[in-house]
A and B are shown apart, each in its own frame.
Chain A
Amino acid sequence: MPHEMTRRRAILAAGAAACAAACTRRPAPGREPLVSVLKADYGDGLFDAVRRLLVEHKVPLKGRRVVLKPNLVEYDESTAINTNPKLVLAVMEACRSLGAAALTIAEGPGHRRPTWDLAEAAGYFAEIPEFEKTFVDLNLDEIEEVKFPRPAPDLEALWLPQTVLACDLLISLPKMKTHHWVGATLGMKNLFGLVPGQVYGWPKNILHWAGIHECIVAINSAFPNMFTIVDGIEGMEGNGPIQGRRKHAGVIVAGADRVAVDATACRVMGIDPRRIRYLRMAQDAGQTEEQNVRQIGEPVHAVRTDFDLIPEYRRLRLNRG
């Protein structure tokens, strides 16, 4: 066994070296990933804004089974922890209007078992018609073991929910928040909510023991068909992802390249994406560098809203260029 472990680790180390080499790569001219930054609010114009966004990015929706994955964690009326249900509804209606065959909202909160009660407290029942028929609690879904295309050194596979494994397109709908373990939580980290509590518990502690950054990259490698729409209309600063303060940024950040979207969202928050380890690890075409992303909509400097960082993460602050 020690020999096998050594060999396995050597292979993974070689993989990591290859990834590091990939970090220095740049996309071919004209092939830069597209990321939209839109000014937005939770008002009546949200549906039109999201629909335009999906059309602009040519998101394949017609006839597709789509899962919307919001960030639903805990509820505290004094701050902004969860993806706003108005945005979830706007995305759902926009997908429906563009021909999606089936739409499911799905989430598996990481700390608390009563998922439906969280959804009620967070306003999902009130805002989303027939929410109960649309929602799947991923903590209790049917599951299947999945080996990761890009395994973490200490985590090669996980049991994951069938609802998401069987969909044609996953739309990650994270809240724009600071995070006290990884710096920022956005579209990629949002996939931790896919991991079933019925197997791994509340919290899904295996992901911390195997390395949070490594697990973010591993889980994302199992879901190649993903589009990200970050709820940055109201986010969270300070001691996120639960105990921070509400922060108005007034933007949506979206695109099909999850690393490029999260890196752009970081820049909007005044965080240097090159200092977020999981983004560095996941990038395959230098997406943490601004010049390697084709950004449309509002320029970052026009919407940048520095999110307050706890002392442990002040080193992540993006210099003003």
Chain B
Amino acid sequence: MFLLGAKPDVPSEEAWSWFPNTAGWLTPTALAMLALRRWRSNPELSAAVERRLANGEAYLWSRLCRDGGWNHGSSKALGYEADSYPETTGQALLALQGTRDRRLEQPLAAAERHLARCRSAEGIAWLQLGLLAHGRSIASIPAPSPPLRTIPEIALSLLAARARGGDHVFSEARRAA
């Protein structure tokens, strides 16, 4: 209910913020969308959930960077184009799972480019989750450097490994089952 009630701080951009009374940003928006998808099948909430998911999707597309991926949510600063990051590109793709949009080709290609050269454990894990959520196969996974060191990194890497094995932990089909 909290996520449904989250108010947009900038009226035209209905996204979720990190902190109350500040602007919406990519990571909290992507994570809120993942959480809301769990409530899609609830008849009492589904209309509100669909509306907020649509808000989230619109926000993500509005923040696409020139290179096809996403950064923290600022594709332009003072009019200057900014580039995307691996981890946020993966998060946004995961949040957009199940959507059918021709525009997805661009961020999927950006994610594959990021994955080919990414050394960050967190980035590699999010990119895999994002690509796998859209049915992309992953030929090889780069070794992270430095190696896994934090609990979130380890947890994300385990989730990515499960997704590679066909267990898509964030998919709606799996939740319904």
Q: Which residues of A are interface residues toward B (Cβ below 8 A)?
A: 111-114, 116-117, 120-121, 125, 132, 180-181, 199-203, 205-206, 208-209, 239, 242-243, 310, 312
Contacts and interface: CB of A to CB of B under 8 A. Distances in A.
Interface in B109-167: 119-123, 144-146, 149-150, 153
Contacts of B71: 111
B27 interface: yes
B82 A243 contact: yes
Interface residues of B, number: 29
Given A125-B146, A202-B27, A180 B21 contact: no
A205 B28 CA distance: 13
A199 B19 CA distance: 7
Contacts, number: 74
B120 A205 contact: no
20 contacts: A111-B85, A112-B72, A112-B85, A112-B87, A113-B27, A113-B87, A117-B144, A117-B146, A120-B119, A120-B146, A132-B149, A180-B78, A180-B80, A201-B25, A201-B27, A203-B72, A203-B74, A205-B23, A206-B19, A310-B78
Contacts of A201: 17-19, 22, 25, 27-28
Nearest to B81: A243
A132 B121 CA distance: 16
Interface string B25-58: 1011000000000000000000000000000000
A200 B73 CA distance: 15
Interface of B: 17-19, 21-23, 25, 27-28, 71-72, 74, 77-78, 80, 82, 85, 87, 119-123, 144-146, 149-150, 153
Nearest to B78: A180
A120 B143 CA distance: 14
Contacts of A111: 71-72, 85
Contact of B122 (A113, A200, A202): A113
